[in-house]
Homo-oligomer: A and B are copies of this chain.
Protein backbone atom coordinates (compact mmCIF):
# COMPACT_ATOMS: atom_id res chain seq x y z
CA UNK A 1 0.00 0.00 0.00
CA UNK A 2 1.22 3.48 -0.68
CA UNK A 3 -0.36 6.75 0.39
CA UNK A 4 -2.19 7.56 -2.82
CA UNK A 5 -5.63 6.36 -3.81
CA UNK A 6 -5.74 2.66 -4.14
CA UNK A 7 -8.48 2.58 -6.76
CA UNK A 8 -9.96 5.12 -9.12
CA UNK A 9 -12.84 7.25 -7.97
CA UNK A 10 -16.14 6.38 -9.68
CA UNK A 11 -18.01 8.99 -11.71
CA UNK A 12 -20.09 11.41 -9.59
CA UNK A 13 -23.83 10.96 -9.89
CA UNK A 14 -25.78 12.52 -6.99
CA UNK A 15 -28.12 9.64 -6.17
CA UNK A 16 -26.02 6.70 -7.26
CA UNK A 17 -22.47 5.41 -6.86
CA UNK A 18 -21.46 3.19 -9.78
CA UNK A 19 -19.10 1.13 -7.57
CA UNK A 20 -20.96 -0.30 -4.55
CA UNK A 21 -17.69 -0.53 -2.58
CA UNK A 22 -16.90 3.15 -2.89
CA UNK A 23 -17.58 5.30 0.16
CA UNK A 24 -17.97 9.06 -0.19
CA UNK A 25 -16.41 11.39 2.34
CA UNK A 26 -18.24 14.61 3.18
CA UNK A 27 -16.07 16.97 5.17
CA UNK A 28 -17.93 19.40 7.39
CA UNK A 29 -14.96 21.04 9.11
CA UNK A 30 -16.06 24.39 7.71
CA UNK A 31 -19.62 24.06 9.00
CA UNK A 32 -20.00 21.68 11.94
CA UNK A 33 -16.32 21.95 12.78
CA UNK A 34 -16.52 25.70 12.94
CA UNK A 35 -19.44 25.38 15.37
CA UNK A 36 -16.92 24.15 17.94
CA UNK A 37 -16.77 26.69 20.74
CA UNK A 38 -13.92 29.03 19.94
CA UNK A 39 -13.20 27.64 16.47
CA UNK A 40 -14.60 30.48 14.35
CA UNK A 41 -12.40 31.03 11.33
CA UNK A 42 -11.95 33.89 8.92
CA UNK A 43 -13.16 33.66 5.31
CA UNK A 44 -9.63 33.53 3.93
CA UNK A 45 -8.70 30.69 6.30
CA UNK A 46 -11.77 28.75 5.26
CA UNK A 47 -10.88 29.16 1.63
CA UNK A 48 -7.40 27.79 2.27
CA UNK A 49 -8.84 24.82 4.12
CA UNK A 50 -11.26 24.17 1.25
CA UNK A 51 -8.35 24.16 -1.21
CA UNK A 52 -6.54 21.68 1.00
CA UNK A 53 -9.65 19.49 1.29
CA UNK A 54 -9.75 19.34 -2.51
CA UNK A 55 -6.11 18.20 -2.53
CA UNK A 56 -7.04 15.59 0.03
CA UNK A 57 -9.73 14.48 -2.39
CA UNK A 58 -12.86 14.70 -0.24
CA UNK A 59 -15.93 14.04 -2.36
CA UNK A 60 -18.07 16.68 -0.73
CA UNK A 61 -17.18 19.89 1.11
CA UNK A 62 -19.84 21.26 3.40
CA UNK A 63 -18.71 24.85 3.16
CA UNK A 64 -20.94 26.60 5.65
CA UNK A 65 -24.34 27.91 6.68
CA UNK A 66 -24.91 30.93 4.42
CA UNK A 67 -27.86 32.27 6.42
CA UNK A 68 -25.80 32.65 9.59
CA UNK A 69 -24.15 35.90 8.50
CA UNK A 70 -23.01 37.86 5.48
CA UNK A 71 -19.46 36.65 6.13
CA UNK A 72 -20.61 33.04 6.09
CA UNK A 73 -22.48 33.63 2.85
CA UNK A 74 -19.40 35.19 1.24
CA UNK A 75 -17.19 32.38 2.48
CA UNK A 76 -19.37 29.67 0.94
CA UNK A 77 -19.70 31.62 -2.32
CA UNK A 78 -15.95 32.10 -2.59
CA UNK A 79 -15.36 28.39 -2.05
CA UNK A 80 -18.05 27.41 -4.58
CA UNK A 81 -16.61 29.74 -7.19
CA UNK A 82 -12.99 28.83 -6.70
CA UNK A 83 -12.55 25.38 -5.19
CA UNK A 84 -15.82 24.04 -6.62
CA UNK A 85 -15.13 25.18 -10.16
CA UNK A 86 -11.97 23.37 -11.26
CA UNK A 87 -11.98 19.80 -12.49
CA UNK A 88 -8.66 18.03 -12.09
CA UNK A 89 -7.23 15.71 -14.74
CA UNK A 90 -9.29 12.81 -13.45
CA UNK A 91 -12.52 14.78 -13.74
CA UNK A 92 -12.69 15.30 -9.98
CA UNK A 93 -14.11 18.42 -8.44
CA UNK A 94 -15.55 18.47 -4.92
CA UNK A 95 -19.29 18.87 -4.49
CA UNK A 96 -19.90 22.11 -2.55
CA UNK A 97 -22.73 21.97 -0.03
CA UNK A 98 -24.53 24.70 1.83
CA UNK A 99 -26.58 23.87 4.89
CA UNK A 100 -29.96 25.55 5.35
CA UNK A 101 -32.94 25.31 7.64
CA UNK A 102 -36.19 24.15 6.07
CA UNK A 103 -37.53 27.55 5.06
CA UNK A 104 -37.60 29.29 1.71
CA UNK A 105 -35.39 32.18 2.76
CA UNK A 106 -32.60 29.95 4.03
CA UNK A 107 -32.80 27.69 1.00
CA UNK A 108 -32.74 30.59 -1.44
CA UNK A 109 -29.75 32.16 0.31
CA UNK A 110 -27.92 28.84 0.35
CA UNK A 111 -28.57 28.31 -3.34
CA UNK A 112 -27.27 31.78 -4.17
CA UNK A 113 -24.08 30.90 -2.34
CA UNK A 114 -23.34 27.55 -4.02
CA UNK A 115 -24.97 27.65 -7.43
CA UNK A 116 -21.80 28.66 -9.29
CA UNK A 117 -20.03 25.45 -8.25
CA UNK A 118 -19.75 22.71 -10.87
CA UNK A 119 -21.47 20.38 -8.41
CA UNK A 120 -23.63 22.43 -6.06
CA UNK A 121 -25.65 20.72 -3.34
CA UNK A 122 -28.17 22.00 -0.81
CA UNK A 123 -28.59 20.46 2.61
CA UNK A 124 -31.94 21.44 4.12
CA UNK A 125 -32.34 19.87 7.55
CA UNK A 126 -35.01 19.54 10.19
CA UNK A 127 -35.18 17.68 13.49
CA UNK A 128 -37.17 14.44 13.51
CA UNK A 129 -36.97 13.29 17.13
CA UNK A 130 -39.95 13.67 19.49
CA UNK A 131 -37.98 15.80 21.96
CA UNK A 132 -36.73 18.19 19.27
CA UNK A 133 -40.09 18.43 17.50
CA UNK A 134 -41.99 19.07 20.71
CA UNK A 135 -39.65 21.41 22.57
CA UNK A 136 -37.49 23.07 19.95
CA UNK A 137 -39.63 23.17 16.81
CA UNK A 138 -42.98 23.07 18.60
CA UNK A 139 -44.45 21.24 15.64
CA UNK A 140 -46.31 17.99 15.10
CA UNK A 141 -44.98 15.07 13.05
CA UNK A 142 -47.40 15.94 10.29
CA UNK A 143 -46.18 19.51 10.16
CA UNK A 144 -42.53 18.43 10.05
CA UNK A 145 -43.33 15.93 7.31
CA UNK A 146 -45.07 18.55 5.25
CA UNK A 147 -42.26 21.08 5.72
CA UNK A 148 -39.59 18.55 4.74
CA UNK A 149 -41.40 17.46 1.61
CA UNK A 150 -42.24 20.94 0.43
CA UNK A 151 -38.83 22.41 1.19
CA UNK A 152 -37.00 19.67 -0.72
CA UNK A 153 -39.36 20.35 -3.62
CA UNK A 154 -38.65 24.05 -3.27
CA UNK A 155 -34.89 23.45 -3.42
CA UNK A 156 -35.46 21.36 -6.52
CA UNK A 157 -37.55 24.15 -8.06
CA UNK A 158 -34.58 26.52 -7.82
CA UNK A 159 -32.70 24.26 -10.19
CA UNK A 160 -30.75 22.24 -7.62
CA UNK A 161 -30.31 18.62 -8.73
CA UNK A 162 -28.27 17.41 -5.75
CA UNK A 163 -30.16 17.64 -2.47
CA UNK A 164 -29.24 16.10 0.83
CA UNK A 165 -32.07 16.02 3.32
CA UNK A 166 -30.76 16.06 6.88
CA UNK A 167 -32.73 14.45 9.69
CA UNK A 168 -31.39 16.08 12.83
CA UNK A 169 -31.37 13.83 15.91
CA UNK A 170 -32.38 10.89 13.71
CA UNK A 171 -30.77 8.52 16.20
CA UNK A 172 -33.46 9.39 18.75
CA UNK A 173 -36.29 9.47 16.23
CA UNK A 174 -39.14 7.06 15.80
CA UNK A 175 -38.26 4.40 13.19
CA UNK A 176 -41.56 4.45 11.34
CA UNK A 177 -41.47 8.22 11.13
CA UNK A 178 -37.96 8.09 9.61
CA UNK A 179 -39.03 5.57 6.94
CA UNK A 180 -41.96 7.81 6.10
CA UNK A 181 -40.15 11.15 5.97
CA UNK A 182 -37.18 9.72 4.05
CA UNK A 183 -39.54 8.05 1.59
CA UNK A 184 -41.34 11.30 0.98
CA UNK A 185 -38.27 13.48 0.56
CA UNK A 186 -36.82 10.98 -1.93
CA UNK A 187 -40.00 11.36 -3.89
CA UNK A 188 -39.70 15.15 -3.64
CA UNK A 189 -36.18 15.01 -5.08
CA UNK A 190 -33.71 14.33 -2.27
CA UNK A 191 -30.66 12.40 -3.50
CA UNK A 192 -28.88 11.83 -0.19
CA UNK A 193 -30.36 11.12 3.25
CA UNK A 194 -28.40 12.48 6.18
CA UNK A 195 -28.83 10.47 9.36
CA UNK A 196 -27.60 12.37 12.36
CA UNK A 197 -26.58 11.07 15.75
CA UNK A 198 -26.72 14.69 16.78
CA UNK A 199 -26.20 14.16 20.49
CA UNK A 200 -23.67 11.32 20.14
CA UNK A 201 -25.67 8.80 22.13
CA UNK A 202 -25.61 5.59 20.08
CA UNK A 203 -23.40 2.52 20.26
CA UNK A 204 -22.18 0.80 17.06
CA UNK A 205 -24.48 -2.23 17.05
CA UNK A 206 -27.43 0.02 17.70
CA UNK A 207 -26.51 2.60 15.08
CA UNK A 208 -25.72 -0.08 12.51
CA UNK A 209 -29.15 -1.57 13.12
CA UNK A 210 -30.78 1.82 12.57
CA UNK A 211 -29.04 2.19 9.20
CA UNK A 212 -29.92 -1.35 8.18
CA UNK A 213 -33.56 -0.80 9.15
CA UNK A 214 -33.73 2.42 7.15
CA UNK A 215 -32.21 0.65 4.18
CA UNK A 216 -34.71 -2.19 4.47
CA UNK A 217 -37.84 -0.16 5.08
CA UNK A 218 -37.65 3.21 3.36
CA UNK A 219 -39.66 3.33 0.14
CA UNK A 220 -37.47 4.26 -2.86
CA UNK A 221 -34.23 3.99 -0.84
CA UNK A 222 -32.43 2.62 -3.94
CA UNK A 223 -32.77 6.12 -5.42
CA UNK A 224 -30.73 7.80 -2.67
CA UNK A 225 -27.40 7.57 -0.86
CA UNK A 226 -27.43 6.95 2.89
CA UNK A 227 -25.21 9.38 4.77
CA UNK A 228 -24.27 9.32 8.45
CA UNK A 229 -23.24 12.17 10.71
CA UNK A 230 -22.01 11.09 14.14
CA UNK A 231 -21.04 13.05 17.22
CA UNK A 232 -18.54 11.96 19.81
CA UNK A 233 -20.16 12.68 23.17
CA UNK A 234 -19.61 9.12 24.41
CA UNK A 235 -16.43 8.53 22.40
CA UNK A 236 -18.18 6.43 19.76
CA UNK A 237 -18.34 8.70 16.69
CA UNK A 238 -15.68 6.96 14.62
CA UNK A 239 -16.84 3.45 15.44
CA UNK A 240 -20.48 4.33 14.71
CA UNK A 241 -19.48 5.80 11.37
CA UNK A 242 -17.50 2.72 10.34
CA UNK A 243 -20.21 0.36 11.54
CA UNK A 244 -22.73 2.29 9.44
CA UNK A 245 -20.78 1.43 6.29
CA UNK A 246 -21.33 -2.25 7.03
CA UNK A 247 -25.05 -1.56 7.09
CA UNK A 248 -25.03 0.31 3.80
CA UNK A 249 -24.09 3.95 4.45
CA UNK A 250 -22.06 5.33 1.55
CA UNK A 251 -21.45 8.90 2.60
CA UNK A 252 -19.59 9.57 5.83
CA UNK A 253 -19.77 13.02 7.34
CA UNK A 254 -16.63 13.91 9.23
CA UNK A 255 -14.41 16.78 10.29
CA UNK A 256 -10.65 17.14 10.22
CA UNK A 257 -9.27 16.45 13.72
CA UNK A 258 -12.81 15.60 14.81
CA UNK A 259 -13.61 19.18 15.78
CA UNK A 260 -17.23 20.26 16.20
CA UNK A 261 -19.88 21.17 18.79
CA UNK A 262 -19.11 19.80 22.27
CA UNK A 263 -16.99 16.64 21.93
CA UNK A 264 -16.93 17.06 18.17
CA UNK A 265 -17.66 14.86 15.17
CA UNK A 266 -16.23 11.66 13.77
CA UNK A 267 -12.67 12.49 12.72
CA UNK A 268 -11.88 12.33 9.01
CA UNK A 269 -8.43 10.89 9.62
CA UNK A 270 -9.71 8.11 11.88
CA UNK A 271 -12.55 7.08 9.59
CA UNK A 272 -10.42 7.21 6.46
CA UNK A 273 -7.46 5.35 7.98
CA UNK A 274 -9.72 2.73 9.56
CA UNK A 275 -11.23 2.06 6.12
CA UNK A 276 -7.79 2.03 4.56
CA UNK A 277 -6.45 -0.35 7.18
CA UNK A 278 -9.43 -2.69 7.42
CA UNK A 279 -11.59 -1.94 4.35
CA UNK A 280 -10.08 -4.55 2.09
CA UNK A 281 -10.41 -7.60 4.23
CA UNK A 282 -12.63 -6.97 7.20
CA UNK A 283 -15.13 -4.69 5.48
CA UNK A 284 -15.48 -6.47 2.15
CA UNK A 285 -13.46 -4.14 -0.03
CA UNK A 286 -14.77 -0.72 1.00
CA UNK A 287 -12.55 2.20 -0.02
CA UNK A 288 -12.50 5.99 -0.26
CA UNK A 289 -10.99 8.45 -2.72
CA UNK A 290 -8.86 10.19 -0.12
CA UNK A 291 -5.20 10.81 -0.82
CA UNK A 292 -4.04 10.04 2.67
CA UNK A 293 -0.62 11.62 2.22
CA UNK A 294 -2.29 15.01 2.64
CA UNK A 295 -3.85 14.15 6.01
CA UNK A 296 -1.07 15.47 8.21
CA UNK A 297 -0.83 18.82 6.45
CA UNK A 298 -4.60 19.26 6.49
CA UNK A 299 -4.72 18.42 10.16
CA UNK A 300 -2.05 20.97 11.02
CA UNK A 301 -3.79 23.65 8.99
CA UNK A 302 -7.12 23.07 10.70
CA UNK A 303 -5.42 22.97 14.10
CA UNK A 304 -3.80 26.31 13.45
CA UNK A 305 -6.79 28.10 11.95
CA UNK A 306 -9.39 26.77 14.36
CA UNK A 307 -7.17 27.12 17.42
CA UNK A 308 -8.38 23.67 18.50
CA UNK A 309 -5.10 22.17 19.68
CA UNK A 310 -4.87 18.42 19.58
CA UNK A 311 -3.95 16.28 22.53
CA UNK A 312 -0.70 14.36 22.03
CA UNK A 313 -2.57 11.05 22.00
CA UNK A 314 -5.11 12.09 19.36
CA UNK A 315 -5.43 9.04 17.09
CA UNK A 316 -3.64 9.23 13.71
CA UNK A 317 -2.65 12.91 13.83
CA UNK A 318 -1.68 13.51 17.46
CA UNK A 319 1.96 14.19 18.21
CA UNK A 320 2.37 10.81 19.88
CA UNK A 321 0.25 8.74 17.50
CA UNK A 322 3.29 7.11 15.98
CA UNK A 323 5.65 7.43 18.92
CA UNK A 324 6.79 4.53 21.03
CA UNK A 325 8.28 4.95 24.45
CA UNK A 326 8.41 1.75 26.44
CA UNK A 327 11.55 -0.30 26.18
CA UNK A 328 9.55 -3.40 25.31
CA UNK A 329 7.85 -1.66 22.41
CA UNK A 330 11.06 -0.09 21.15
CA UNK A 331 12.78 -3.43 21.25
CA UNK A 332 9.92 -5.02 19.30
CA UNK A 333 9.97 -2.29 16.67
CA UNK A 334 13.68 -2.61 16.07
CA UNK A 335 13.07 -6.30 15.37
CA UNK A 336 9.92 -5.87 13.22
CA UNK A 337 7.86 -2.69 12.64
CA UNK A 338 4.67 -4.73 12.48
CA UNK A 339 4.92 -5.78 16.13
CA UNK A 340 3.55 -2.42 17.26
CA UNK A 341 2.67 -0.50 14.11
CA UNK A 342 -0.37 -1.09 11.92
CA UNK A 343 -0.04 2.09 9.85
CA UNK A 344 3.12 3.80 8.83
CA UNK A 345 3.68 7.49 9.49
CA UNK A 346 4.49 7.98 5.83
CA UNK A 347 0.92 7.00 4.90
CA UNK A 348 -0.45 10.21 6.31
CA UNK A 349 2.34 12.43 5.07
CA UNK A 350 5.20 12.24 7.54
CA UNK A 351 8.64 12.22 6.05
CA UNK A 352 10.95 10.74 8.56
CA UNK A 353 13.35 7.97 9.12
CA UNK A 354 12.19 4.69 10.50
CA UNK A 355 13.60 5.07 13.97
CA UNK A 356 12.65 8.68 14.47
CA UNK A 357 9.39 7.78 16.12
CA UNK A 358 10.87 6.36 19.27
CA UNK A 359 10.74 8.59 22.22
CA UNK A 360 13.46 8.47 24.76
CA UNK A 361 12.23 8.09 28.29
CA UNK A 362 13.09 6.25 31.44
CA UNK A 363 12.18 2.93 29.89
CA UNK A 364 14.55 3.30 26.95
CA UNK A 365 17.76 1.32 26.75
CA UNK A 366 21.31 2.40 25.93
CA UNK A 367 21.26 1.07 22.36
CA UNK A 368 18.31 3.27 21.50
CA UNK A 369 20.01 6.29 23.06
CA UNK A 370 23.22 5.63 21.18
CA UNK A 371 21.37 5.27 17.90
CA UNK A 372 19.54 8.53 18.45
CA UNK A 373 22.70 10.41 19.41
CA UNK A 374 24.24 9.19 16.18
CA UNK A 375 21.21 10.37 14.21
CA UNK A 376 21.64 13.74 15.85
CA UNK A 377 25.19 13.89 14.60
CA UNK A 378 27.11 12.97 17.75
CA UNK A 379 29.84 10.36 17.37
CA UNK A 380 30.63 9.70 21.00
CA UNK A 381 33.09 7.25 22.45
CA UNK A 382 31.69 4.29 24.38
CA UNK A 383 32.55 5.77 27.79
CA UNK A 384 31.00 9.07 26.80
CA UNK A 385 27.79 7.31 25.76
CA UNK A 386 27.83 5.50 29.08
CA UNK A 387 28.17 8.72 30.96
CA UNK A 388 25.49 10.50 28.90
CA UNK A 389 23.26 7.47 29.49
CA UNK A 390 23.55 7.84 33.25
CA UNK A 391 22.58 11.50 33.13
CA UNK A 392 19.87 10.64 30.63
CA UNK A 393 18.40 8.05 33.00
CA UNK A 394 18.53 10.53 35.87
CA UNK A 395 16.77 13.16 33.80
CA UNK A 396 14.20 10.69 32.47
CA UNK A 397 13.49 9.36 35.95
CA UNK A 398 12.65 12.83 37.15
CA UNK A 399 10.25 13.97 34.58
CA UNK A 400 8.63 13.81 31.19
CA UNK A 401 9.96 13.07 27.78
CA UNK A 402 13.60 13.58 26.93
CA UNK A 403 13.53 15.51 23.66
CA UNK A 404 16.22 15.98 21.07
CA UNK A 405 16.92 19.42 22.49
CA UNK A 406 17.37 17.86 25.93
CA UNK A 407 19.69 15.26 24.49
CA UNK A 408 21.80 17.94 22.85
CA UNK A 409 21.95 19.81 26.14
CA UNK A 410 22.88 16.58 27.96
CA UNK A 411 25.73 15.97 25.57
CA UNK A 412 26.82 19.57 25.99
CA UNK A 413 26.57 19.45 29.78
CA UNK A 414 28.45 16.19 29.72
CA UNK A 415 31.48 17.91 28.37
CA UNK A 416 31.15 21.01 30.48
CA UNK A 417 29.73 20.25 33.87
CA UNK A 418 32.56 22.28 35.38
CA UNK A 419 33.19 25.73 36.75
CA UNK A 420 31.80 28.55 34.64
CA UNK A 421 34.35 30.38 32.49
CA UNK A 422 32.56 33.74 32.88
CA UNK A 423 30.63 34.89 35.91
CA UNK A 424 28.53 38.01 36.26
CA UNK A 425 30.28 40.64 38.39
CA UNK A 426 27.79 43.47 38.09
CA UNK A 427 25.43 45.13 35.71
CA UNK A 428 23.89 48.54 35.23
CA UNK A 429 21.26 49.22 32.63
CA UNK A 430 19.42 52.32 31.52
CA UNK A 431 16.48 52.16 29.21
CA UNK A 432 13.32 54.04 28.49
CA UNK A 433 11.77 56.11 25.77
CA UNK A 434 15.00 57.30 24.21
CA UNK A 435 14.74 54.50 21.61
CA UNK A 436 17.95 52.96 22.80
CA UNK A 437 19.26 51.43 25.97
CA UNK A 438 22.74 51.14 27.44
CA UNK A 439 24.34 48.54 29.65
CA UNK A 440 27.57 48.56 31.59
CA UNK A 441 28.65 45.11 32.64
CA UNK A 442 31.40 43.48 34.63
CA UNK A 443 32.31 39.85 33.99
CA UNK A 444 34.77 37.84 36.07
CA UNK A 445 36.90 34.97 34.74
CA UNK A 446 37.84 31.80 36.56
CA UNK A 447 41.10 33.28 37.80
CA UNK A 448 39.36 36.36 39.20
CA UNK A 449 40.24 38.83 36.48
CA UNK A 450 37.47 41.37 35.84
CA UNK A 451 36.47 42.73 32.46
CA UNK A 452 34.18 45.71 31.99
CA UNK A 453 32.37 46.76 28.84
CA UNK A 454 29.51 48.98 27.84
CA UNK A 455 27.16 48.77 24.87
CA UNK A 456 24.02 50.37 23.52
CA UNK A 457 21.19 48.27 22.08
CA UNK A 458 17.58 48.44 20.98
CA UNK A 459 16.23 47.54 24.39
CA UNK A 460 17.67 46.63 27.78
CA UNK A 461 18.11 42.92 27.03
CA UNK A 462 19.65 43.60 23.67
CA UNK A 463 22.14 46.11 25.06
CA UNK A 464 23.04 43.76 27.91
CA UNK A 465 23.71 40.80 25.60
CA UNK A 466 25.76 43.03 23.33
CA UNK A 467 27.88 44.16 26.27
CA UNK A 468 28.51 40.50 27.16
CA UNK A 469 29.49 39.81 23.56
CA UNK A 470 32.05 42.63 23.62
CA UNK A 471 33.89 40.87 26.43
CA UNK A 472 33.41 37.23 25.47
CA UNK A 473 34.11 37.82 21.78
CA UNK A 474 32.18 34.85 20.40
CA UNK A 475 29.87 34.95 17.41
CA UNK A 476 26.63 33.77 18.99
CA UNK A 477 23.13 33.42 17.64
CA UNK A 478 20.18 33.57 20.05
CA UNK A 479 17.80 30.88 18.81
CA UNK A 480 15.20 31.33 21.49
CA UNK A 481 14.54 33.91 24.16
CA UNK A 482 11.58 32.98 26.29
CA UNK A 483 10.25 34.53 29.48
CA UNK A 484 7.86 32.40 31.51
CA UNK A 485 4.36 33.10 30.39
CA UNK A 486 2.18 34.55 33.07
CA UNK A 487 2.79 36.05 36.46
CA UNK A 488 0.58 37.84 38.90
CA UNK A 489 1.96 41.22 39.91
CA UNK A 490 5.15 42.78 38.62
CA UNK A 491 7.46 42.02 41.52
CA UNK A 492 7.22 38.26 41.15
CA UNK A 493 10.14 36.12 40.06
CA UNK A 494 10.52 35.92 36.31
CA UNK A 495 12.30 33.00 34.69
CA UNK A 496 14.12 33.46 31.41
CA UNK A 497 15.22 30.62 29.17
CA UNK A 498 17.77 31.22 26.42
CA UNK A 499 18.95 28.85 23.70
CA UNK A 500 22.00 29.75 21.62
CA UNK A 501 24.33 28.30 19.01
CA UNK A 502 27.44 29.49 17.26
CA UNK A 503 26.67 32.00 14.54
CA UNK A 504 27.16 30.30 11.16
CA UNK A 505 27.28 26.91 12.81
CA UNK A 506 27.78 24.19 10.26
CA UNK A 507 24.22 23.10 9.62
CA UNK A 508 24.28 19.73 7.96
CA UNK A 509 20.76 18.44 7.56
CA UNK A 510 20.16 14.96 8.89
CA UNK A 511 17.95 12.32 7.38
CA UNK A 512 15.26 13.64 9.67
CA UNK A 513 13.71 16.43 7.74
CA UNK A 514 13.08 18.89 10.48
CA UNK A 515 16.36 18.56 12.30
CA UNK A 516 19.38 20.63 11.66
CA UNK A 517 22.48 19.33 13.33
CA UNK A 518 24.51 21.80 15.30
CA UNK A 519 25.17 21.90 18.98
CA UNK A 520 22.78 24.18 20.82
CA UNK A 521 23.20 25.32 24.40
CA UNK A 522 20.62 26.52 26.81
CA UNK A 523 20.61 28.41 30.05
CA UNK A 524 18.11 29.76 32.55
CA UNK A 525 18.06 32.64 34.96
CA UNK A 526 15.50 33.79 37.44
CA UNK A 527 14.89 36.75 39.69
CA UNK A 528 12.81 39.91 39.99
CA UNK A 529 14.87 41.86 37.47
CA UNK A 530 14.08 40.69 33.96
CA UNK A 531 17.34 42.06 32.57
CA UNK A 532 19.60 40.48 35.16
CA UNK A 533 17.79 37.14 34.78
CA UNK A 534 18.26 37.35 31.03
CA UNK A 535 21.98 37.95 31.35
CA UNK A 536 22.34 35.06 33.77
CA UNK A 537 20.54 32.75 31.38
CA UNK A 538 22.72 33.95 28.53
CA UNK A 539 25.97 33.49 30.48
CA UNK A 540 24.95 30.00 31.54
CA UNK A 541 24.39 28.99 27.91
CA UNK A 542 27.57 30.72 26.79
CA UNK A 543 29.69 28.92 29.37
CA UNK A 544 28.41 25.58 28.11
CA UNK A 545 29.23 26.56 24.56
CA UNK A 546 32.75 27.62 25.46
CA UNK A 547 33.44 24.41 27.36
CA UNK A 548 32.11 22.37 24.49
CA UNK A 549 34.48 24.21 22.17
CA UNK A 550 37.44 23.41 24.40
Q: Interface on A for B, CB 8 Å cutoff? A: 35-42, 68-69, 71, 101, 131-132, 135-136, 169, 198-201, 203-206, 208, 232-236, 238-240, 242-243, 246, 257-264, 267, 270-271, 273-274, 277-278, 282-283, 307-316, 318, 320-329, 331-332, 335-336, 338-343, 359, 361-363, 396-401, 424, 426-434, 437, 439, 457-462, 465, 478-483, 485-492, 494, 527-532, 534
- Besides A36-B313, A480-B488, 10 other A-B contacts (C-beta < 8 A): A38-B325, A40-B397, A69-B397, A132-B332, A204-B204, A232-B315, A233-B343, A258-B313, A261-B329, A309-B309
Is there contact, CB below 8 Å, between B315 and A234?
yes
CB < 8 Å neighbour of A532 from B239, B343, B432: B432
Is there contact, CB below 8 Å, between A40 and B361?
yes
In the complex this chain forms, how many copies of it are found?
2
Q: Closest 4 CB pairs between A and B?
A: A38-B401, A239-B239, A235-B270, A135-B336
With A35-B326, A490-B459 as known contacts, state yes or no: A199 contacts B282, CB within 8 Å: no
A399 contact set on B, CB distance < 8 A: 40-42
Residue among A38, A131, A267, A326 facing the most chain B CB atoms (10 A cut-off): A38
Is there contact, CB below 8 Å, between A239 and B204?
yes
Is there contact, CB below 8 Å, between B205 and A490?
no
Residue among A236, A399, A457, A485 facing the most chain B CB atoms (10 A cut-off): A236
A206 contact set on B, CB distance < 8 A: 282
A398 contact set on B, CB distance < 8 A: 42
How many whole Å from A469's CB to the nearest CB in chain B? Answer: 11
Is there contact, CB below 8 Å, between B424 and A428?
no
CB < 8 Å neighbour of A458 from B426, B487, B529: B529
A459 contact set on B, CB distance < 8 A: 490-491, 494, 527-532
A529 contact set on B, CB distance < 8 A: 431-433, 437, 458-460
Is there contact, CB below 8 Å, between B437 and A433?
no
With A240-B239, A430-B429 as known contacts, state yes or no: A135 contacts B397, CB within 8 Å: no
How many whole Å from A430's CB to the nearest CB in chain B? Answer: 5
How many whole Å from A151's CB to the nearest CB in chain B? Answer: 16
A42 contact set on B, CB distance < 8 A: 398-399
